[in-house]
Chains A and B, each alone.
Chain A
Amino acid sequence: MNWISISKREDLPKNREGVIRAAAVVLSIVCAGIVIWILGYNPIQVFPSMVTGALGSEIRLQQTILKAIPLIVTSLGILVAFKMKFWNIGGEGQILMGALAASYIALNVDGLPKPVMLLLMAIAAMVAGGIWAFIPAFFKAKMGVNETIFTLMLNYIAIKYVTYLQYGPWKAPESKGFPKVANFEQNAIMPELFGIHIGWIIALVCVVVVYIFINHTKKGFEITVVGESRETARYAGMNISSIIIIAMLISGGLCGLTGMIQASAVEKTLSVNLSAGYGFTAIITAWLSRLSAIAVLFVCIAFAILLQGGTYIQISMQIPASVADMIQGIILFFVLGSEFFLQYRVNLPLWNQKVKEVA
């Protein structure tokens, strides 16, 4: 008799699913705690400190939300691509190209009223991000070129290009030796509402729009079908090439929008650091959300708490930022692993037998 066998679960009751997910998170925190302890810190101090660091005061809560905004918008972009099983890991580059286009408008167009200016910047950013995603989408659709590597390489090209601009032609003359692009004029900076820039409203709107698009429109349905089975899509007479390209335009457009938000509201200029790894983190948050737009909102907020908590313990407990990265990695490993127990039942025949004998 096999000592272990695995079978696919037919349907898992919702409450069991919740239990398994919660167990994974608890286990991962315990495991991360052990690692923190081995590294010579007290986990019983570190974890509460991370939570208070992220939520403990109005300013910290605002910082957390500021981190959640770019994550949410980017994750939604990644989600649209992943729905189609198009592995867009080029979010980072699409964010930067979006920021670049928005900055171009902000630095070169004068005298527009603020709403028009911001709208123009947002459109430019979405177009630029969309183009940066269109390139790999086109080659994927027409020639089957591997999109994972393509989108990744475009990240580096975008990073180098923006660095070139920042250190070269776009460097502000008044910045002396410091490589910095000129700050935006007041009319290119997003207004605030309740102490946080209006990016949070944009993020919430995006969640709703992407939810409706994926679940209640024909194109959204087609994207899901292409993701599930190319054959089915082809058999149903769908134009797969055009679906891939449209989905990637949306995906890159949303990432580009993130770039505009970060440039306009956070950095108030173009900087090569403004993407801050959100393009990569969003891949994880999109996946953990099981590609649901609504879940993205909550997962990204949870992640932002982790990020902000990590920043806080750096200052308050002198724990290096890398520890927070490791904790992130460990928690992710567990959550990824737990997916297995949601889909499969593990049978231990010998163990069960023993339990019966004892009983």
Chain B
Amino acid sequence: MEGFLAATIVASTPLLFATVGEIVTEKSGLLNLGVEGLMLIGAIMGFVTAFATGDPLLGVLGAAVAGAAGGLIFAFLTVSLRANQVVTGLTLTIFGAGFASFMGKTYVGLVVPKAVKSFFSPVSIPLLGDIPFIGPVFFQRDVFVYFGYLVVILVTLYFYKTRAGLNLKAVGESAAAADASGVNVTLYKYVHTCVGGALCGLGGAYMSLVMMSVWQENVVAGRGWIAVALVIFASWNPIKAFVGAFLFGGLSILGFRLQSMGIHISQYWVDMLPYAATIVIIILSSRKNRKENQPPSDLGIPYFREER
């Protein structure tokens, strides 16, 4: 059980980064469906950078910068050029998949350098790691996982405890009102789409650098789309995103576990679980009408100052 939960943490980390990234983006009122593409861009650029330099931190940085660049393309098209957000997001995914596949062509099957692999090997956090049960599950993992915890805490503090976080909420809820009160709406949308993109890129990098530690075609395998759904499950709250990512990470590795326990259910049925669960969740979450669970009111609605 402990082993299963520990593996769940690993499986949930890419989902966590991508979900929090998409939450940051959506809080500014932009619906970026290109998460899958952003993760792929991050996965390959992280891998290529780490492979070329042998430096794990540069790899992580490369993934974040590449993800942010993808976010910038999205922001430019949807904010400045007012393109349709749904279609632009899908295009970003097509582009990202092509980009990752091309860049990764010569890397297929190659393993990350030793220095990177040892950097991302599990380390126990003093004291916390010694707590029975909780320690081995949560606090004897790799530094990238801890970075994920940190991101959740920082983003939560930013959303609920800072002035900029409050402004961001205003931009997402009512861009016109935020604009009227002197918030630079365009800047907020750009910055948060880029930061969100960077986080999605990090989620991809976790897949390629740590989880697989070998480059393979389509390494992200649909996790970006699950992240988009998890945002709804988490009702735009980073803490709930952690819970959601954990649940879905568990579902995604359940098949292997059941088989090793001698329970034979077709892998394909088990594979359906995360998607079926997502559907159940969006149906259930449409039933609850509590105010804090609602999406930002301006989500997906473009804001044009001169059309106010």
Q: Does B278 contact A (CB under 8 A)?
A: yes
Query: Who on chain A is nearest to B99 by CB?
Result: A326
Q: Does B107 contact A (CB under 8 A)?
A: no
Expressed in whole angstroms, the Cα–Cα distance for A264 and B96 within the complex equals 32
Query: Who on chain B is nearest to A339 by CB?
Result: B83
B232 to chain A, nearest CB (A): 6
Expressed in whole angstroms, the Cα–Cα distance for A307 and B283 within the complex equals 37
A148, A153, A154, A344: most-surrounded residue (chain B CB, <10 A): A153
Task: Please determine whether B286 and A325 come into contact, CB atoms closer than 8 angstroms.
Answer: no
Expressed in whole angstroms, the Cα–Cα distance for A323 and B99 within the complex equals 8
Contacts of B73 in A (CB 8 A): 333
Task: Please determine whether A336 and B94 come into contact, CB atoms closer than 8 angstroms.
Answer: no
Contacts of A146 in B (CB 8 A): 232, 282, 286
Contacts of A336 in B (CB 8 A): 77, 81, 83-84, 87-88, 91
Q: Does B86 contact A (CB under 8 A)?
A: yes
Interface residue from A150, A325, A340 paired with B279 (Cβ < 8 Å): A150
Contacts of A213 in B (CB 8 A): none
Expressed in whole angstroms, the Cα–Cα distance for A145 and B285 within the complex equals 8
Q: Does B187 contact A (CB under 8 A)?
A: no
Task: Please determine whether A139 and B283 come into contact, CB atoms closer than 8 angstroms.
Answer: yes
Q: Known: A148-B33, A156-B275, A323-B102. Contact between A284 and B86, CB under 8 A?
A: no
Q: Known: A87-B86, A325-B94. Contact between A337 and B77, CB under 8 A?
A: yes
Task: Please determine whether A333 and B282 come into contact, CB atoms closer than 8 angstroms.
Answer: no
Q: Does A1 contact B (CB under 8 A)?
A: no
Q: Known: A157-B272, A322-B101, A326-B99. Contact between A152 and B81, CB under 8 A?
A: no
Query: Who on chain A is nearest to B295 by CB?
Result: A146
How many A residues are at the interface, by size bracket? 35 or more
Task: Please provide the chain B residues from 222 to 247 with a CB less than 8 Å away from any CB of chain A in the complex.
Answer: 222, 225, 228-229, 232
Interface string of B255-276 (1 = CB under 8 A from A): 0000000000010110110011
Expressed in whole angstroms, the Cα–Cα distance for A312 and B77 within the complex equals 31
Query: Who on chain A is nearest to B233 by CB?
Result: A149
Interface residue from A156, A164, A167, A325 paired with B98 (Cβ < 8 Å): A325
B19 to chain A, nearest CB (A): 13
Q: Does A329 contact B (CB under 8 A)?
A: yes
Expressed in whole angstroms, the Cα–Cα distance for A161 and B268 within the complex equals 7
Interface residue from A161, A163, A280, A340 paired with B94 (Cβ < 8 Å): A280
Task: Please determine whether A157 and B81 come into contact, CB atoms closer than 8 angstroms.
Answer: no
Task: Please determine whether B283 and A145 come into contact, CB atoms closer than 8 angstroms.
Answer: yes
Q: Known: A161-B272, A164-B269, A326-B98. Contact between A149 and B82, CB under 8 A?
A: no
Interface residue from A8, A161, A287 paired with B84 (Cβ < 8 Å): A287
Task: Please provide the chain B residues from 71 to 113 with a CB less than 8 Å away from any CB of chain A in the complex.
Answer: 73, 76-77, 80-84, 86-88, 90-92, 94-102, 105
Expressed in whole angstroms, the Cα–Cα distance for A143 and B266 within the complex equals 33
Q: Does B292 contact A (CB under 8 A)?
A: no
Q: Does A6 contact B (CB under 8 A)?
A: yes
Q: Does A89 contact B (CB under 8 A)?
A: yes
Contacts of B102 in A (CB 8 A): 39, 320, 322-323, 325-326
Q: Does B161 contact A (CB under 8 A)?
A: no
Task: Please determine whether A157 and B275 come into contact, CB atoms closer than 8 angstroms.
Answer: yes
Q: Does A7 contact B (CB under 8 A)?
A: yes
Contacts of A332 in B (CB 8 A): 91, 94-95
Query: Who on chain A is nearest to B283 by CB?
Result: A145
Q: Does B287 contact A (CB under 8 A)?
A: yes
Interface residue from A287, A320, A340 paired with B101 (Cβ < 8 Å): A320
Expressed in whole angstroms, the Cα–Cα distance for A154 and B282 within the complex equals 13
Q: Does A144 contact B (CB under 8 A)?
A: yes
Q: Does A168 contact B (CB under 8 A)?
A: yes
Q: Does A202 contact B (CB under 8 A)?
A: no
Task: Please determine whether A329 and B91 come into contact, CB atoms closer than 8 angstroms.
Answer: yes
Task: Please provide the chain A residues from 289 to 341 with a CB less than 8 Å away from any CB of chain B in the complex.
Answer: 320-326, 328-330, 332-333, 336-337, 339-340
B52 to chain A, nearest CB (A): 17
Can you name 8 A-B pairs with beta carbons within 8 Å? A145-B286, A149-B279, A149-B282, A154-B275, A283-B90, A287-B87, A323-B98, A337-B81
A residues near B, CB below 8 A? 6-8, 39, 87, 89, 139, 143-146, 148-150, 152-154, 156-157, 160-161, 163-164, 167-168, 280, 283-284, 287, 320-326, 328-330, 332-333, 336-337, 339-340, 343-344
